[in-house]
A and B are shown apart, each in its own frame.
Chain A
Amino acid sequence: MTTGATTGVPGDTSTSLTVRRSKSGRRTTGGVVAYVVLLLVAAAILVPIVYAVLGGFKSNGQLAANPVALIPDPWVFGNYADILWGVNAPTFWGEVLNSVIVAIIAVSVTVGCASAAAFVFARMRFRGREAMYTLFVFGLLFPTAVAILPLYILIRQVGLSGSLLGVALPQAAFGLPLSIVILRPFFRSIPIELEDAARIDGCGSFGFFWRVLLPLSRPALATVSVLAIVTTWNAFILPLVVLNNADQWTLPLGVMNFSTTYSSDAARTLAFTVVSLVPALLFYMVAERHIVGGLTGGAVKG
C-alpha cells in the first residue's frame, strides 16, 4: 500500500485507495462477526469459572432453587471462610503447602540437572552425543502414565511411597526432556568468543557454565522453571498412586477427595475448587509471558 502511494503514479494511488476502501468496508462487517465469535468463546471460558466463583458465595438452597442466577442473594461467606480460616483451613493450606514443596523440589532438580546436561549437549563434542540427546527428546512422548505401574513398584521398593519426594523426583525426571530441549539451543546461541575469553581468564568448564553461561541464560531458565512449575503443580496421576496418606495430598488430589466427601454440599465444593485454582491463576498472570513464550518458542521455527 505504501509503495503504491510513494511511486507517485496517479493511477497507482487511486487503485490503492479503492483497495483500501473496499478492504476497510469488509473489515467493519467482518469485524463485527469476528467480535461476536470472540465474545462467545470468551463467555464459554468465563461462565463456568465465574459461576463457580459466585456459586461459592451461595447456599445450597440458592443453588438448587435457582441454578441459573449468577449473583448470590444473599451473599453467603461461610463456604470460603471455612476453607480459608475455618474448619477446612488445615486441609486446604496443608495441601497448598504440599503442592509448593513438591513444586520446589521438582523444579530445582529438573532445572539443575537439565541445565548441566544441556550445557554438555550444546557446547561439547563427543561420540554418542546426538544419540543420547535423542534419548532425552523421545522422553517428550512418554507421559508418566505409561510408566506408572512399574514406577509405583519402584517407589515402594526404595521406600519413597507416601513421601513427597516420591512424587517430586519422578516428576523432575519427566520434566527433563522439555527443559533440555528448550535450553540446548539457547546455550548454543551464546557466542564461542565468550567461552574463549572465559578460558583465557582461567575459567574451567564449570567456571564458564556457572559464572558466564547460567547468568546469561536467565530468560531461558525462567521459561523452563515456569513450565516445570505448571506441569508439577497440575500433576495428578503420580501423586494419586504415591501419596496414600491424606496429610500429604497435593491440591488436585485434595479437590477430588473434597468433592467426594462433600458431594451433597455443592456450594462448599465449588468454593474449594475455586480457591484451589487461584494459585495457578495468579501464577499465570505473573508468568504469562514465559509460559506462552516457552511453549510457542520452538514450535514455529520450522
Chain B
Amino acid sequence: MRADSPGTRSGPRLSAKWLTISLFLLPALVLYIVFVIFPIIQAAHFSLYKWNGLGPLDDFVGLKNYQVALASDVFWQAVSNNVLVIVLSLLLQIPFSLGLAVLLNRRFPGRAIFRLLFFVPYVLSEAITGIVFSLLLRPDALFDSTLQTVGLQGMIQDWLGNTDVVMITLFVIISWKYFGFHMILLLAGLQGIPKEIEEAALIDGAGRWQAFRYVTFPLIGPTLRVSIFLSVIGALQLFDMVWVMTGGGPLNASTTMAVNMFKTGFTRQQMGYGSALAVLLFICALVVALLYQRYVLRRDIDGAVTAYNA
C-alpha cells in the first residue's frame, strides 16, 4: 500500500482499493451488524414499549419499564447476586488461581499433568457441569453422604433449596469451572517474567514472600487486570449454570440479571420490560468496559478478552 506513489493513487486505483476493502469487510460487518449491533439497538427500542412479543408494537410507555425495574425487589436481588459473585471472585477465586499459578510456575515432576487437569472444567459446558453437580448435591447423594461419613452431618444443607446457601453453592461450582482458566492466564503471565529478576532479588537477600510481593506481583499486574476484568464480565452475564441448577430460585434467591431478563421476556412474555432489563445489563457491562479502558492499557485487551463470551 505504502509503495504506491502519490501520483498513482488517484482515480481507478483508489476505487479499486475501496472495492477490495468493502468486499473483504462486508461479510463480517453484515453478520455483526445484523446479529449483534442491531439486536442491541432493538432492545433499546423495545424497552420503551409494553409488548408481549407477538402483537403489534404500539403501546409506547416511555421510560416506565425502567422505572418499574429500578423499583423492583427482584431486580435488586439479581443485581446483588451478580455483585456477590463478583466480590467473591475477586476475594477468593482470583487469589486462589494466582496461588496455584505461582506453585505451577516452578519446575517439578507432574507439573504438566496438574496444569492440564486444572483446565479441564473450563472446556466443559456450563449447563452440563451444572447438571452433574445438581445430581451430586441432591439430598443423600455423594456430597451429603461424604459429609456424613466424615462426621460432619451437622453441615448438611439443602444446598440448592436454602435461600441463604444457594448463592454460595453456585459460587463454589462457578469457581470449580473457571479457576483453571484464570490460573492458566496468570501462569502465562508469570512465565513471561524472566526468572533472573526474582533470582536477583533472592540473592540480594529478599525472602521468597518479599521477592513475590515486590518483584513478581507488580510485574504480573497487566495479566492480573485482564483476569479481574474477565471475571467481572463473566459474573455479570451469569446465566447457564443458574438456569439449569435453580432457575433463579428458590424465591428468586439465586436469580441474576440475565436470569431475571430471560424469565421476564420468555416465561412471562413481557418483551418490553425484559428488553429494559437487557439494556440495564448492557449498561453495567459498558460501565465496566469503560472503566477498564480508562484504567488499563489498550494493549491488554488485544487477544485477551475471551473466555466467557459463550
A93 in contact (CB, < 8 A): no
Asked if residues A113 and B31 are in contact (CB atoms below 8 Å), the reply is yes
Name the one of A140, A231, A273 contacting B132, with C-beta atoms under 8 angstroms: A273
A124 pairs with B1, CB closer than 8 A: yes
Interface residues of B in 97-156 (CB under 8 A from A): 100, 103-104, 106, 108, 110, 114, 116-121, 123-128, 131-136, 138, 140-142, 144-146, 149
Q: Jot down 25 A-B pairs with beta carbons below 8 A, ordered by A.
A: A23-B202, A41-B100, A42-B114, A120-B25, A140-B305, A140-B309, A142-B40, A147-B35, A147-B39, A181-B301, A204-B20, A206-B20, A234-B124, A234-B125, A234-B310, A236-B240, A236-B310, A251-B125, A255-B127, A256-B127, A273-B128, A280-B124, A280-B125, A301-B299, A302-B223
Name which residue of chain B comes closest to A70, CB basis: B142
Closest 4 CB pairs of A and B: A298-B303, A302-B222, A173-B35, A150-B42
A172 to B121, CA, bound (A): 23
Contact of A68 among B39, B146, B187, B302 (CB under 8 A): B146
Q: Given A52-B135, A137-B301: A149 and B21 within 8 A (CB)?
A: no
Which residues of B in the span 138-183 have a Cβ within 8 Å of any Cβ on A?
138, 140-142, 144-146, 149, 176, 180-181
Complex CA distance for A143 and B17, rounded to whole angstroms: 34
Smallest Cβ-Cβ distance to A137: which chain B residue: B301
Which residues on A sit within 8 Å (CB–CB) of B274? 149
Q: Are B141 and A292 interface neighbours, CB within 8 A? A: no
Question: In the complex, which residues of chain A have a beta carbon less than 8 angstroms from the beta carbon of B180?
Answer: 45
Evaluate contact between A41 and B118: CB separation under 8 angstroms.
Answer: yes
Q: Is the CB of B184 within 8 A of A146?
A: no
The contact of B226 among A137, A230, A299, by CB within 8 Å, is: A299
Q: How far is the CB of A31 from chain B (nearest CB, A)?
A: 7
When the two chains form their complex, are residues A31 and B32 in contact, meaning their CB atoms are under 8 A apart? no
Residues in chain A within 8 A of chain B (CB atoms)? 1, 4, 19, 23, 26, 31, 34-35, 37-38, 41-42, 44-46, 48-49, 51-52, 55, 63-64, 66-68, 109, 112-114, 116-117, 119-120, 123-126, 132, 135-154, 169-170, 172-174, 176-178, 180-182, 184-185, 192, 196, 199, 204-206, 209, 227, 230-231, 233-237, 240-241, 251-253, 255-256, 259, 266, 269-270, 273, 276-277, 280-281, 283-284, 288, 291-292, 294-302
- How far does the Cβ of B22 sit from chain A's closest Cβ, in whole Å? 9
Q: Is the interface of B mostly helix, strand, loop or mixed?
A: helix
In this assembly, does B34 line the interface, its C-beta being within 8 Å of a C-beta of chain A?
A: yes
CA distance A182 to B309 in the complex (A): 15
Q: What per-residue 1/0 map shows which CB atoms of B36-54 lie under 8 Å from chain A?
A: 1111101100100000010
CB within 8 A of B302: which of A46, A233, A298? A298
Q: Are A149 and B285 in contact (CB under 8 A)?
A: no
Known A-B contacts: A42-B114, A139-B32, A240-B243. Give 14 more (CB < 8 A). A34-B108, A51-B136, A68-B145, A116-B27, A123-B1, A144-B309, A149-B265, A149-B266, A154-B38, A173-B36, A234-B124, A259-B135, A291-B123, A296-B185
| Interface membership of B251, Cβ < 8 A | no
Q: Is the interface of A mostly helix, strand, loop or mixed?
A: helix
B11 on the interface (CB 8 Å rule)? no
Q: Which residues of A contact B189 (CB under 8 A)?
A: 299-300
Q: Is the CB of B310 within 8 A of A126?
A: no
For B36, B53, B142, B266, the residue with the greatest tally of chain A CB atoms inside 10 Å of its CB is B36
Contacts of A288 in B (CB 8 A): 116, 119
| Complex: A123 Cα to B1 Cα, angstroms | 8
Distance in Å from the Cβ of A158 to the closest Cβ of chain B?
9
Given contacts A42-B114, A259-B131, A298-B304, contact A51 B142 (CB under 8 A): yes
Assuming the contacts A142-B36, A255-B128, asked whether A300 and B188 have C-beta atoms less than 8 A apart, the reply is yes
Flag B268-305 by CB within 8 Å of A: 1 or 0 each: 00010011001001100110110000000101111111
Cα separation A139 to B304 with both chains bound (whole Å): 13
Among A123, A252, A295, contact of B307 (Cβ-Cβ < 8 Å): A295
A178 touches B108 (CB 8 A): no
A146 touches B303 (CB 8 A): no
Query: In the complex, which residue of chain B has the Cβ closest to the Cβ of A171?
Result: B35
CB-nearest residue of chain B to A68: B145
Q: B28, A114: Cβ atoms under 8 Å? A: yes
In the complex formed, the residue of B with least CB distance to A241 is B266
